[in-house]
Amino acid sequence: MDNLLSKIKYYYPKDNDLLVRAYNYAKAAHANQKRASGEDYFIHPYCVAEILVDLGMDASAVAAALLHDVVEDTPVTREELRKEFGDEICELVDGVTKLDKIVFTSKEEEQAENLRKMFFAMARDVRVVMIKLADRLHNMRSLQYLSHERQQAMARETLDIYAPLAGRLGISSIKCELEDLCLKFLDPEAYAYLAEAISQKREERQELVNALIKDVQQMLTDLGIHGEVFGRPKHFYSIYRKMKNQHKSIDEIYDLIAVRILVDNVKDCYNVLGTIHTKWKPIPGRIKDYIAMPKPNMYQSLHTTVVTNYGQPFEIQIRTYEMHKVAEYGIAAHWKYKEGKTSESEFSKKLTWLREMLEVEGDLKDSRTFYNSIKGDLVSNEVLVFTPKGDVISLPEGATPIDFAYHIHSAVGNKCTGAKVNGRIVKLDTPLQVGDVVEIITNANSKGPSWDWLKICKSSGAKAKIRQFFKKEMAGENLKKGREMLEAEAKRKGYALSDLAQEPYLKAVYDKYSFLSFDEICAAVGYGAYSTNQILFKLIEQYERVNHIVRVEGKSPSVKKSPTGSVIVKGCDDLLIRFAGCCNPVPGDQIVAFVSRGRGVSVHRADCPNVRDMEPERLLPAEWAGASKEVFAVSLQLTAEDSPALLASVTTAIANLRLNLSAFNARLDKKGRAIINLTVQLPDITQLETLIQKLEELKGVSEVFRTTF
DSSP secondary structure of 49-86: HHHHHHHT--HHHHHHHHHTTHHHHSS--HHHHHHHHH
Among the listed residues 391, 403, 409, the one whose alpha carbon sits nearest the alpha carbon of residue 460: 403
The catalytically annotated residue of 15, 40, 73, 328 is 73
- Our answer to whether residue 108 is catalytic in this structure is no
Q: Rounded CA gap, 517 and 84, in Å?
A: 43
- Using CB atoms within 10 Å of the CB of residue 117, give its burial: 0 to 12 exposed, 13 to 18 middle, 19+ buried: middle
Q: Rounded CA gap, 545 and 541, in Å?
A: 6
DSSP secondary structure of 561-611: --SS--EEETT--SEEEEE-TTT---TTS-EEEEE-SSS-EEEEETT-GGG
E-strand spans in 625-700? 632-640, 660-668, 674-682
Alpha helices in 400-531 (DSSP H): 401-408, 410-414, 453-456, 460-474, 477-492, 497-500, 505-513, 518-527
Q: Rounded CA gap, 414 and 489, in Å?
A: 31
Contacts of 401 (CB under 8 A, 6+ apart): 416, 419, 421, 426, 428, 430, 432, 438, 440
Task: Fill in the DSSP letter of residue 625.
Answer: -
Q: Rounded CA gap, 403 and 362, in Å?
A: 19
Fill in the amino acid letter for 155.
A
- Our answer to whether residue 73 is catalytic in this structure is yes
Contacts 24+ apart (CB under 8 A), 613-618: 618/594
Fill in the amino acid letter for 445.
N
Three-state secondary structure call for residue 434: coil
Three-state secondary structure call for residue 287: coil
Q: List active site positions.
A: 72-73
